[in-house]
Amino acid sequence: MLVLGLLTIVAAAGAVRIQKGRENIGESPYLEIEDPDHVIAGDSNAGAESGGDTLAGELAASGDEAGNGELAGDGTAVGLADNKNGAGTGADPGNFAGEISMDTGLADASDSALTGDHSMAEAGAAVSESLVLDFADTDKLSWPVTGNIVLGYCMDTTTYFPTLDQYKVNPANVIQSEVSTPVSAPADARVVSVGTNEEIGNYVDLDLGNGYTAVCGQLKEIPVVENEYVRQGDLLGYVAEPTKYYAVEGTNVFFEFLKDGVPVDALDFLE
């Protein structure tokens, strides 16, 4: 009887133990730790989906920014999507830089042109200031052209003019030359006037300073103008066909030299 009672007690204790075990089956045997930063991966599938969504979102955002011309992939082309769609909102930094450079170049060219004109004006002013017209009786003239004298200066007596077939005084030296030969300034001078008359054709009147003046006639294609300053040897024009007053004498340069309005012999001053 005693043994049977003990077996009954043991059986009852085992049933209670089994029931308690069943109640704890749903509980995790591991200690749970909170993961506020989600460092520990939970559901692997959910993590993959979340990562995929994040990556896709970043790529989409990058794509949108590149398409809108706000993000450049390699730094050389911006706004490719806009260019393809013809929207014209994209920009090419290279082209933009080129346009800036071109505009800057045009501005520089314009400034250079203005500076060049200003420099030329200053150069002209500098020439006039540097030329001191102070011809003296000891100074020398250069020949306006090289050639023989067909009619020499003669104011004391008369000389024969073949074309006119008469004798008269000659205030100038008539120097033989060829048509289109360059005629140069005999000295530093200021152009007093450029004119023409029946006897000596086109001429240039020069002021050498101190009352000395010179006239070069029988010219064409005269490049100088009134009040222009010229240096000795500068171009005054070219030899023209002779006027009817010198038809027999032939092609020549009429060269008259004066002191205070009175003709003097240029041969006394020519080198």
Closest CA to 251 of 161, 164, 147, 152: 147
What pLDDT, in 10s, does the model give residues 178-200? 999 999 999 999 999 999 999 99
Q: Which domains does the chain have, with CATH numbers?
A: 149-268 (2.70.70.10)
Q: Given this model, what pLDDT does residue 130 score?
A: 74
> What's the Rg (C-alpha) of the chain?
55
pLDDT in tens, 116-155: 444 544 544 555 667 899 999 999 999 999 999 999 999 9
**pLDDT by residue (tens digit) across 159-172?**
999 999 999 999 99
Tens of pLDDT, residue by residue over 90-108, are 445 455 444 544 455 444 5
Record the pTM.
Answer: 0.56
What digits encode the pLDDT tens for the residues 219-262? Answer: 999 999 999 999 999 999 999 999 999 999 999 999 999 999 99
Over residues 2-30, the pLDDT tens digits come to: 545 555 555 555 544 544 444 444 444 44
State yes or no: pLDDT of 80 exceeds 50: no
